[in-house]
């Protein structure tokens, strides 16, 4: 376990009801409209959480790292709602799957309640940052933030990604992203290659 729980009763229930699952890079763990039967907790690797509308357009929200879970999925478990996000493995990832019906039941354990509350608090702040970027920043800053987050996940300054893949997540045209990236390269912020982007000063 990557979560440092100390309550032996909670640990016992996690070991009894939790299920471990390993997924390969780029696996879609859940998508919009899916029934939410489990809460994924990252043990190793990372998940990318994106919001997708009915037309398939997506926007990046945040990453989940070891010891973290998704606030929006917690909300679905507590309120018996279908998923409103897409969760994608950023790299080969090990997960602990908590049955959805246990999320509410385990609130009797203070450590679990604190874990859930901290998840809501931390990811609320991340979502505020995303909203600020969308509402108040030029797209070049949004793209740079996106690339920095992707680089953070793999702990490297080179991201193997196409301009079209970035455009899809920003629901814009590839030409727009290519123009932004070329401008960023001229400013020595990135180095562009065939299907990869290297961040400068990383």
Cβ count within 10 A of residue 201: 7
Q: How far is CA 121 from the centre of its chain?
A: 15
Q: Please tell me the total count of domains within the chain.
A: 2
Predicted local distance difference test score (pLDDT) of residue 2:
53
Domain identity same for 85 and 112? yes
Predicted local distance difference test score (pLDDT) of residue 64:
94
Domain identity same for 46 and 116? yes
The residues of the chain scoring below 50 in pLDDT are 1
DSSP annotation of 66 reads: T
Predicted local distance difference test score (pLDDT) of residue 15:
93
Domain identity same for 13 and 32? yes
Output b/e per residue, 131-158; b: 16+ Cβ within 10 A. Answer: eebeeeeeeeebbbebbebbbebeeebe
CATH of the domain at 70: 2.60.120.10
DSSP-derived 3-state class of residue 193:
strand
DSSP-derived 3-state class of residue 68:
coil
The answer as to whether 154 is a domain residue is: yes
pTM over 0.85: no
């Amino acid at each position: 376990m990557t979560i440092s729980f100390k309550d032996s009763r909670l640990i016992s229930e996690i070991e009894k009801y939790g299920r471990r699952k390993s997924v390969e890079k780029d696996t879609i763990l859940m998508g919009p409209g899916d029934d939410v039967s489990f809460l994924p907790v990252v043990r190793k690797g990372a998940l990318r959480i994106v919001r997708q509308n009915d037309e398939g357009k997506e926007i990046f929200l945040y990453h989940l790292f070891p010891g973290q879970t998704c606030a929006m999925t917690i909300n679905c478990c507590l309120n018996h709602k279908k998923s409103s996000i897409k969760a994608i493995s950023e790299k080969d990832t090990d997960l602990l799957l908590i049955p959805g019906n246990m999320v509410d039941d385990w609130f009797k354990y203070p450590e679990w309640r604190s874990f859930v509350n901290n998840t809501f608090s931390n990811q609320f702040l991340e979502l505020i940052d995303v909203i600020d970027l969308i509402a108040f920043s030029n797209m070049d800053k949004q793209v740079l933030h996106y690339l920095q987050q992707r680089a953070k996940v793999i702990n490297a300054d080179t991201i193997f990604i196409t301009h079209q893949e970035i455009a899809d997540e920003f629901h814009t045209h590839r030409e727009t992203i290519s123009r932004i990236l070329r401008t960023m390269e001229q400013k020595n912020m990135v180095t562009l290659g065939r299907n990869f982007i290297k961040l400068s000063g990383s």
